[in-house]
Amino acid sequence: MTTASPTTGSRRRWTLWGLMAVSAIAVAAFAVPPYLSGDPANSNLPINPDAAQHFLSLVAHAVPSGLALVIGPLQFLTPLRNRNLKVHRVAGRVYLVSVVLASIAAFFAATFSVSGFPAQVAFYVLTAAWLYTLAQAYRCVRRGEVRLHRIWMIRNYALTFAAVTLRVYLVVGMVARKQFAWLTFEDIYTASVWASILINVVVAEYFIVHGILASSARRRRRRGSASSTSVATPGSGGQGG
Ligand code: HEM
């Protein structure tokens, strides 16, 4: 099996990070502004005629959600974290408060939603998972368990990022609808909401496992090169890796 060189690995990481950051900014810039006007006529979603607070819940959800979506990628930048931990901490607190506010509003937005019961259930599941992973990440960092904090934040941001993948699947679904006319918008919307959650969870776990395996391989390599150095040292009697 061939392994990527450190340069190839880091180029790949930067490319993925760039794609994540650009798509997060694009979705925040495209999805949030209609809700800043305060006019329900600008909503991209149909407003529930029986719930006066529906539009308000969307505004209260969209604004902090957009902020969390944009801050997230910065938090994964190791050079920024290493150089300026204070910026990481302040941005982390803003992210945390944004997710809490956005989750509370999302609960109401899901309750008032006219998108159908299966989509509502998906949004409740997403809200609960969003808050749970955030609470775990916060608990770990307070205990000084930095590696576990990072793992829980990967899980948490994967859920935040469902806002991006949902919109990608919606576009794909609408294109597919031209071929499969029997698909309704509600079918496509429901499938996109569930797919955005489930696929993001699987991708996050892949990155977590991959990261753990890569760091233990690095440790093994370091141990190996240290012991092969000691083999070369006269009188050490080392066995090598
Ligand atoms: C990850 C947790 C999230 C949950 C549980 C959630 C929940 C919801 C719910 C329930 C709705 C109403 C949907 C409907 O009635 O069909 C909604 C709409 C919306 N959400 Fe989220 N959301 C999340 C993340 C985000 C993020 C990160 C953004 C950032 C841009 C965002 C932006 C919006 C916007 C702008 C709307 C209005 C619909 C639109 O114009 O596309 N949400 N969300």
Segment 29-40, tens digit of pLDDT:
999 999 999 999
Mean pLDDT of the chain: 91
Residue 26 confidence class, pLDDT cut points 50, 70, 90: very high
- What percent of the chain clears pLDDT 90, i.e. is strictly above it? 83
Ligand 1 geometric centre to CA of 164 (Å):
10
Residue 228 confidence class, pLDDT cut points 50, 70, 90: low
Q: Are 72 and 161 in contact (CB under 8 A)?
A: yes
For residue 209, the model assigns a pLDDT of: 97
Residue 192 belongs to some domain of the structure: yes
CB distance 42 to ligand 1 below 6 Å: no
Please give the average per-residue pLDDT across 12-25, as a whole number: 96
Q: Are 70 and 28 in contact (CB under 8 A)?
A: yes
Pocket-testing residue among 48, 58, 127, 170, ligand 1, by greatest number of atoms within 8 A of Cβ: 58
Ligand 1 geometric centre to CA of 33 (Å):
13
What pLDDT digit, counting tens, does each position of 93-138 carry? 999 999 999 999 999 999 999 999 999 999 999 999 999 999 999 9
If DSSP codes are grouped into helix, strand and coil, which group holds residue 49? coil
Residue 153 belongs to some domain of the structure: yes
Residue 26 belongs to some domain of the structure: yes
Residue 167 belongs to some domain of the structure: yes
Residue 2 belongs to some domain of the structure: no
Structure tokens at 178: 């031209």
CB distance 123 to ligand 1 below 6 Å: yes
Residue 227 belongs to some domain of the structure: no
What pLDDT digit, counting tens, does each position of 156-189 carry? 999 999 999 999 999 999 999 999 999 999 999 9
Ligand 1 geometric centre to CA of 31 (Å):
9
For residue 4, the model assigns a pLDDT of: 54
Amino acid at 141: V
Atom of ligand 1 nearest to the CA of 107: 10
Nearest CA to ligand 1 atom 7: 106
Is the pLDDT assigned to residue 238 strictly greater than 50? no
Is the pLDDT assigned to residue 236 strictly greater than 70? no
Atom of ligand 1 nearest to the CA of 44: 40
Q: The domain spanning residue 49 has which CATH number? A: 1.20.120
- What percent of the chain clears pLDDT 70, i.e. is strictly above it? 91
What is the domain count for the chain? 1
CB distance 105 to ligand 1 below 6 Å: no
CB distance 156 to ligand 1 below 6 Å: no
If DSSP codes are grouped into helix, strand and coil, which group holds residue 134? helix
Residue 238 belongs to some domain of the structure: no
Residue span of the structural domain in which 149 resides: 7-219
Is the pLDDT assigned to residue 21 strictly greater than 50? yes
For residue 227, the model assigns a pLDDT of: 65
Q: Are 212 and 199 in contact (CB under 8 A)?
A: no
For residue 233, the model assigns a pLDDT of: 33
What pLDDT digit, counting tens, does each position of 140-149 carry? 999 999 999 9
Q: Are 165 and 196 in contact (CB under 8 A)?
A: yes
- Report the distance separating Cα 175 and Cα 169, nearest Å: 10
Nearest CA to ligand 1 atom 15: 113
Q: Are 68 and 95 in contact (CB under 8 A)?
A: yes
Residue 112 belongs to some domain of the structure: yes
